[in-house]
A and B are shown apart, each in its own frame.
Chain A
C-alpha cells in the first residue's frame, strides 16, 4: 500500500483535532486505520510515545461518527491494569470533548461502584474501558449476548503482557465468547516491540490479519554505574554504591530506581534515607502497599513533586510520567524486554533517547548488565513463549458460561478450541473439566444429589446451573491472579498495605521491620489485622515475598555466556572484574559459549562440585535437586546444594568421581517425579488451580475466608486426592503448571540433552574465582519440607531437654 499518495485519514474527525495540536499522524496509525477498515484484525507494535492508545481508537471513532447515534456498546478496550484503564479514559476524553463528539465512554474495573456497574449494564456506553476480569464477569451475566451483540471492535492494550500467563487464557476464552455474540467483531492489539511478532498475531487474530509496526525508535542511552568501590562478590543489595546512586539522583530532575524485589525496594529506600542530607523527596512504590499510598506516589510522580521513587515492577507499566529523566536499574536486568520496558519509563518523547544507569550488585551481574546493553544495541529482544492454555481457567470459564444460562457442551467446546491457547484441548479433557465444575469430577461418584451444574433430562448435551445462587460464588472467584495469604498492616487506624502472613508468623511482639519505608514495631495480630507502631530501632527485618522470582531469560543468558568468553573485551571492564576473569582463566577455565564448565575442588574435607549452566534460577534449582538425588544414589553422600541464575554448587562428603554418568538427560526420567513429590511446588500450585477452577472458594459471600484457611484446606485436599485419585484433572493441571513455571522443564531438557558432550571438567585443588560468588551463597541445607519440620521439632526437643539437664534417649 502506498500510504504517502493518499492519506485515508484526511477526512477523519480526529485529524482536525490533531492539526489544532500541531500533531500529525504516524505512518503506523495510517496503516492500522487502512487495514482495520478493510476488515483485518491487526496487531500494532510501537514504542511508548508513538500514540499507541490513539491508534486503537482511530477506527472505532470513525465508525461511531459515521453510523450516527449508534445505540449500545460499540468498542471494548481491555487494559492489563486498573490504573491504566483510568488513564486511557483521561486520554480519550480530550479529543472527544474538544471535538464535541457524540460518543459515550466509561471505565469499568473492580473499583467501579456496584451502582454504576448496574447502570452500565442497563445502558451501556459506546466505548467501555475495562480489564480481563471485568470482561469475564460481564460475560457471566444472563443478558451478556444482548449486551455485546453489536460490538464492533475489541482493543487489547499492552498485549505483550498477556501472552504467557493464565490471564491470557482467560482473556482469550472471553474474546472468543464475544466473537460468538457478535460474529463481525474485529480485534486490535497494541503491543510494545516484540521479537516474535507473529506469535502475538497468532494469539489474538483470526485468519485475516496484519502486523503493523513502528520500529525506528531512538536507542536508549544505557551505561553501567562507574563506581570507585569494589563490586561485591555476591549479594543483591547494592549497599556498596549507595553514595554514587544518591549522586545520580541529585543530578537529574526526576529519577525512578527500579529494583527486582519488594524487599530490595524497602532496603534501598531505607539506605537512601540514611544518607539523604540534601533532604531530597524520595518515595517507595511496590505492589504490597495500600492503594492510596501507591496512588499518592503516582500522583506526585506525574506532577513532578518528588525527586526519586524506588519501585518494583509495580511501576513498569502504566501511566505516562513525562518528567522522569533517568532510570536506575539496581540488580540484574534478568531479561532484555524487561530492561527495555523499565528504561522506557523515562522520557516519553519519541525523538529523545531514554537514559538509564545500571547498578550491578555483584560480579556476575556486572557481566549480565554489559550483555544486556549489548543486546539492546543489537535490538535482540527476548522471545515471549506462548503457552498452552491451563485447564483450571477452562473450568472457571465453564462455570461462568453456566452462570449466563444453559449451554450446549459441544458448542462450548468448539468455541473454546478457537482460542489460540486451547487449539489442542481434547474433548475428553474438556469433558472432565465439565465434570469438575459439576461435582468435583471424582471417580467415586458420591455427590449425585449435590451437583452444581447438570444436564437436562431430555438432552444430555445441554447443561445448566442447578441453583442460580451459585453464580454469586462464581463472581466472588473470578480471575487467575492468586495472592499468597496476606494480612493488612495498620498503623493506628491507617492501613499501610499488605504483608505476607508467613512473615508475620515469624515475628514476635516487639520485633521491628521495615515496610512502606518506615521502621515499624509489631504489636499484635487480631482478626487478620497486624497492629504496628513506629519504631526507632536500628535493627529491623525486611519482609520478603515469595512470589515472582524472575529467572534470567534464555536470550540474555546466551549473551552473558558469549560475552564472558570474549577475553579481548575484558580490559574494558573495571580492574576488579578484569582481574577476576583473568585469574579464573589461569586457575581454571572460562567456558566457551556452548560449553558447560564443571569445577570440582575440596575445601575443609568437603567436596564441592560447581556447574555453570546459566540456565536461570528455576531450572538450576531443579537441576540441583535432581543431582542431589543422583549423588545420593551413587553414594557420594551429598549434603546439600545452592543454585542461582548462573550456576549450581553441590557439596558432598565423598569425592564425586564420574560426574558425566550422573549429569545427563537420564536425570529427568529418574528423579523428576520424586522432586515434585518431595517439595511443596505442586502442592502450592494445586492451591492456585483449586481456587481458579472454583473447586474451593477464594471468599464466601459476606464472609472473608482468611488466606490461612484456604491454604490449609487445599493442602489437605491435595494430599487426599493424590493418594486416592492421582490422575485427577486438577492434579494433572498442577503438574503442568509446575513443569511450565516453576521448574523450567523445557529449558532444562534442552540443556541436559547432549550435555555429556559439552562438559568441560576441571579438577582443582581449591576454590576458583568464578565459584566464589555461589560458594558465598551457601547458607542452608536443602531438606524437604516434611523432613525440615521434623528436624525442627527434634532440635527443639533436644534443646529443651538439655536446658532441663535431662538426658533422655527416646
Chain B
C-alpha cells in the first residue's frame, strides 16, 4: 500500500465494503488452502496414495469440483425437523468464524478493526459457534445428531477454559489485550538485551502455547478430540442430517475456523505479521514502513500454514479420545497446568 493510496480518504461505505471483502478473503483463502494442501494432499501422502489427481494439474482444481458437487446436491430437511432452526444453524457457526477474523491484525495499518479488548473479544466470539452446533444437533430430530451436539457442547465448554487461561499468560506479559499491541510488544522486545529476534512469546510462554494449541484442536473437534462426530458410533454427529449447501457451510466453517485460530495463535505466540523491528531500526508503531502492509499478510499466511500443518498432522496421527478421558484431560491436566502457568508468569512479571 503506497502513500497515495493511504492518503486517499475513502467514504464510510467504501471502507465498510473493503473490510467485508477483505474478511471474506481472509476466511475463505486459508480454508481453501488448508483443505487442498493438508486434507487432500498431505493426508493422501501420509497414507501412501496420491490423492486427487484428475481435476487440474495435481488435482489443484479439485476444490472447485467439490464445491460444485455440493451445490448440486439436494438440500434435504428431515420431515420431523424444526425447519427454521435446522436451516440457520450452519450459518450461526459460519458467522462466528467471520466475527473471529475481524480482530486479527495483518499489518501496521492492515486491520479490520483495532479493538482495545481484542483477545477478550476473540474468546467471546469463538464460544458463539457452540450455540450453532447445539441447535443443529437438536433441530435435526435425530438421536445421533442430538448426542453429537451434546458431546460437542460438553467438549467445547471444557476446553474453552484452558484456552482462556492459556491466553492470560500472554496478556500478563504484554500488558495489553489489543492484538496489534501484542504484535508490537513481541517484535520490539528483546531477550536479555539481544533484540535480533524480538521476543516471540512462544519462547517464554511455551506451556501456554502448547495448552492453547491443544484447546484449539478440541474447539475445532479435530481428531483426537472428534468425539462429537465419531463416525463409528454417531454416523457423523450433529452433521448427520445435513446435505448439500448446508453441509458445505459446516465444512467451510470447520476449516476456516482452523485457519483463523492459526492466525490468532501466530499473533499471540509467534509475533504475528511482524519481523523483529530491530532489523530495520523501527522503534514505534508509526515508524514501521508501509511495505509491511503487503509483506505482513504474507508472513501471517506462512505462520498460519505452519500452525495449521501441526493441527492437521496431529489430526492424521492420533486415535480418538474416549469421552471420559477427554473431560478428565481438560479438567485435571490442562486447567491446573495453565493456572500454575499464570501464577509463574505473574510472579516473574512483578519480579522483573
Whether A and B are associated in the same complex: the answer reads no
Interface residues of A (CB under 8 A from B): none
Interface residues of B (CB under 8 A from A): none
